Structure 1
């Protein structure tokens, strides 16, 4: 049931991306181009999402446990380190250059947007390489 609800949540997210126009990389790039044909609509979408998330969290934290689980899965890491900063920089550069981040890229693929045919395979290769790099680092640290 948890996987089904995760699928439904992802589907709602994808529909929201399409309705808001955020699956169009040109719209995202126009938001980032403050000296060109600037489009502030992404700021309104992010603001609406922030308000919705804020209200949703206020309701969820009143519960002792999630509806479909025994405990809340909360991140425990608080360290700002080189891998975090490197990942953020790569994410930001990819978003700025391509106009895509992972969620909208998958949505754009379903809509047949041509840029996704380059972006998604590159993103997947990056994910695999990052995972291999983490595994190699863990193995090296255990052997030292």
Structure 2
């Protein structure tokens, strides 16, 4: 096609740059929203502040906070909380504990999370939650 070596090099370089630009443009378009979580194998999950605000989430409809007890409502009606594996982890307080009860609020579509200080007293605390 191109007989001169310089012409071939320029054509291949241009084609390579076009492919690279297309890949980079596709990556920019596919960048996730900052308010959503990337968890391809989790049914739902969230990072929740001590006041009940959601930092980012996947499949969580909302959170209701009452002191140190939170109701994390799951968005997807098909998630069966009686069969799901639910885990929660405290974010900020070393030694704090959590109690998680799936299906205990929001008409059976929520997870009750109680947060406690190291001595067992109720303490509003930020946490992560995952539903597998």
| Bin for the TM-score computed over the shorter chain | under 0.3
The structure having more radius of gyration, on CA atoms, is 2
TM-score w.r.t. length of structure 1: 0.21
Pick the structure with more strand per residue. Answer: 2
